[in-house]
């Protein structure tokens, strides 16, 4: 379970408020800690060190968040590319099938449409919980078997070439689907989230210690800190796990193939 698993189904505004509130709560905990430390250790001779620490601690915070965000963007791009590659391979397979004999063409076309339909209706929702569809696997296996049989019983060079091309495109479909499923299982790990929040907590402690004797600047700084880093947490959590939650990669390319005329 990830830190934000329960928030994936929230609407964007809900996840946005939750992200800002999480950083705000972190600031309140830091405020309580620093106030307690002032009671226990009232000596303020180290305050000048705190002033120089703020810029120093924000550098690793920014670097860690940048690395985490870069991983998320790369996963989203890989997921988008996998869907486009899968749709392109399916489209190519459909073009090959169009030139076969009517009986073989209709049977293979039905298998391809069955693969698309089960991928959209069954596998897409299942990817949100880290699973895949056995029905999609069966349709894909059926396409491979049909292509092999077509090649084995080819009565002309054109049929053999068509069967070989069909096998090649079915292989590309399988590769793209495997990539899509691997991306659907990827997420920002708990250790990365922990590192981000620990660094944010330390930064909040330094920020509060710097302004603790001036209440108005302290609350303004805490608010700006919560909003600024809360928005960053929102973007990371919204685009983490590209096939989960409200902000997901949708099967638009595959949907277009379902409504495309059979002769195209």
DSSP string, 214-242: -HHHHHHHHHHHHHHHHHHHHHHHHHSST
Which of 119, 95, 97 lies closest to 108, judged by CA? 97
Give the list of residues 6+ apart from residue 140 with CB closer than 8 angstroms, or none.
115, 170, 173, 174, 177
For 39-48, 154-163, 210-219, which range has the lowest pLDDT when averaged over its residues?
39-48
pLDDT at 46: 47
Give CA–CA dist 49/206, Å, rounded.
10
Domain ranges of the chain: 26-259
What pLDDT band is residue 158 in, cutting at 50, 70 and 90?
Answer: confident
Q: How far apart, in whole angstroms, are the C-alpha atoms of residue 165 and residue 35? A: 71
* Rg, Å, the chain Cα set: 27
Between residues 117 and 240, the one the model is more confident about: 117
Instruction: Please name the helix (run of DSSP H) or strand (run of DSSP E) that holds residue 115, with its range, or none.
Output: helix 102-118
pLDDT score for 188: 84
pLDDT given at position 1: 46
Q: Tokens for 111, please give them.
A: 């298998």
Residue whose entry in the numeric block shows the structure tokens 């989960």: 244
pLDDT at 213 over 90: no
- Indicate the range of 53-57, 116-120, 171-175, 222-226 predicted with least confidence: 53-57
pLDDT exceeds cutoff 70 at 47: no
The 3-state DSSP class for residue 154 equals coil
List the end-to-end C-alpha distance of the chain, in Å, as a whole number: 45
**Quick check: 242 and 183 in contact, CB under 8 A?**
yes
Average pLDDT over residues 196-218: 88
CA atoms within 13 A on the CB side of 22: 22
Mean pLDDT on 14-26: 92
CB 248 within 8 A of CB 239: no
pLDDT at 261: 54
The whole-angstrom separation of Cα 259 and Cα 228 is 44
CB proximity list for 5: less than 8 A, separation 6 or greater:
none
Residue 78 tokens, joined = 């890989």
Reported as a single tens digit per residue, the pLDDT across 61-117 is: 888 888 998 888 888 899 999 999 999 999 999 988 888 888 888 888 899 999 999
């Amino acid at each position: 379970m990830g830190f934000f698993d329960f928030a994936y189904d929230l609407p964007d505004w809900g996840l946005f408020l939750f992200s800002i509130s999480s950083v705000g709560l972190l600031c309140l905990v830091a405020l309580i800690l620093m106030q307690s430390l002032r009671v226990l250790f009232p000596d303020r001779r180290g305050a000048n060190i705190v002033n120089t620490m703020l810029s120093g601690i924000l550098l690793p915070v920014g670097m860690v968040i940048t690395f985490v965000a870069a991983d998320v963007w790369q996963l989203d791009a890989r997921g988008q590319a996998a869907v486009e590659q899968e749709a392109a391979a399916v489209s190519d397979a459909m073009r090959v099938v169009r030139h076969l004999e009517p009986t073989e063409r209709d049977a293979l076309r039905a298998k391809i449409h069955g693969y698309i339909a089960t991928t959209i209706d069954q596998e897409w929702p299942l990817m949100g919980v880290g699973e895949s569809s056995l029905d999609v696997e069966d349709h894909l296996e059926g396409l491979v078997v049909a292509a092999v049989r077509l090649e084995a019983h080819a009565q002309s060079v054109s049929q053999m070439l068509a069967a070989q091309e069909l096998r090649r495109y079915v292989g590309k479909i399988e590769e793209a689907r495997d990539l899509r499923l691997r991306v659907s299982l990827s997420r920002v790990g708990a250790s990365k989230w922990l590192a981000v929040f620990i660094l944010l907590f330390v930064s909040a402690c330094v920020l509060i210690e710097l302004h603790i004797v001036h209440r108005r600047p302290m609350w303004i700084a805490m608010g700006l800190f919560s909003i600024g880093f809360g928005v960053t947490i929102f973007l990371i959590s919204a685009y983490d796990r590209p096939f989960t939650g409200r902000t997901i990669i949708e099967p638009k390319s595959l949907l277009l193939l379902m409504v495309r005329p059979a002769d195209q």
